[in-house]
Amino acid sequence: MLTPNIDLKNKTVLVTGAAGFIGSNLVMELLRTVQSIKIVGLDNMNDYYDVSIKDYRLGEIDKLAAEHPDCSWTFVKGNLADRALIDRLFEEYSFAVVVNLAAQAGVRYSITNPDVYIESNIIGFYNILEACRNHPVEHLVYASSSSVYGTNKKIPYSTDDKVDNPVSLYAATKKSNELMAHSYSKLYNIPSTGLRFFTVYGPAGRPDMAYFGFTNKLRKGQTIEIFNFGNCKRDFTYVDDIVTGVKHVMQNAPEKQNGEDGLPLPPYRVYNIGNNNPENLLDFVTILQEELIRAEVLPADYDFEAHKKLVPMQPGDVPITYADTSALERDFGFKPSTSLRDGLRRFAEWYKQFYRV
């Protein structure tokens, strides 16, 4: 077990992608649990998916911030690729910890809209690294993705595995982030930790994710397509488990130390955060439909078979994701544990309330 070397109390933290799914949940967890923390959230509020969900998340943060007057919460609407803005924020706030969760997400979208991935995931991340170089921080934590494992055959996926076979531009940008962070850690002694997230889901999540998209389609009486004829497995990870993992990591910066040549060894780590329990997509759909009926989002007599279609694999997709989380357990004594049924139940209950079903 690692001994935490960063006390977040009274610290100023930057969370990019703060109106996003993971970012908003992280901000709320920090407000709830860390005394006198100062959080600056950055998000460009783009319309890749329904902006009203981002507005809802920000509203939930504002409510929580009002309940914790010892903490401070500042939201900045702006673009990660805006170098002048990023430099100004780092100058103004002198961040102790930076958590970069802003990114253009989605594997399939990267096939049709590559430009936004280069702007946000490459140029945006470069701006963060440059700012951390010019305004030194105690720890840079950034989102990578399970998609970096690409066509790797060995499972479960370990952070010790080679990741040189990305099957989408999205995956390639995330692998690039890890390489860029490594080089900046080496050159400028910036403690950095990359987190490979595995299929994150939960209430107020991303509508482009399968569980949310399926729910929207089923409510409209449309047909849902299950890829690879249902023979895909995904390591679904509930958002609260992801946030707990991020919070553990934030407080444990890799130690700065020199090698035998007297030069800094890169203070750099990468972890998987996943459920360590891949679920078959057909089983996942069955649980989802049971929970949607239980929450009265769909009627008890809904004919699911008439609205399901098994289709071939999509470009950029992989048949299985499966996280080896042993390093997370070893260093933090933590392992994601929310069951798929519990997580989908919370999503279904939130969905009913949000859309006033």
Residue-wise pLDDT tens digits, 5-33? 999 999 999 999 999 999 999 999 999 99
Contact 94, 59 (CB under 8 A): no
CA 227/CA 183 separation, integer angstroms: 37
Cα–Cα dist 136/28, whole Å = 25
Distances 79 to 83, 128, 194 between C-alpha atoms, Å: 9, 11, 21
Which amino acid is located at 75 in the chain?
A: F
Whole-number average pLDDT of the chain: 95
User: What pTM did the predictor assign?
Assistant: 0.96
| Contacts of 253 by beta carbon, 8 Å cutoff, 6+ apart | 5, 6, 138, 139, 191, 193, 267
215: tokens are 């729910």
Domain boundaries of the chain, sorted by first residue: 12-354
Output the pLDDT for position 229. 87
Quick one: tokens of 46?
Answer: 């783009």
Question: Which residue ranges of the chain lie beneath pLDDT 70?
Answer: none
Q: Cα 132 to the chain's mean position, in Å? A: 21
Report the pLDDT value the prediction gives residue 111, as an integer from 0 to 100. 85
Q: Which two tokens stand for residue 148?
A: 């970096």
Instruction: Let me know: does 15 contact 140? Beta carbons within 8 Å.
Output: no
Paired with 145 in beta bridges are 197
Residues designated catalytic: 170
- Spell out the residues 6+ positions from residue 124 whose beta carbon is closer than 8 angstroms to its own: 16, 79, 80, 81, 102, 103
Q: Which two tokens stand for residue 355?
A: 């859309």
Contacts of 353 (CB under 8 A, 6+ apart): none
Residues 107 and 168: beta-carbon distance below 8 Å: yes
In words, the CATH class of domain 12-354 is alpha beta
DSSP 6: -
Per-residue HEC secondary structure of 80-119 comes to CCCHHHHHHHHHHHCCCEEEECCCCCCCCHHHHCHHHHHH
Closest CA to 94 of 48, 131, 46, 141: 131
Per-residue pLDDT of 47-76, as tens digits, reads 999 999 999 999 999 999 999 999 999 999
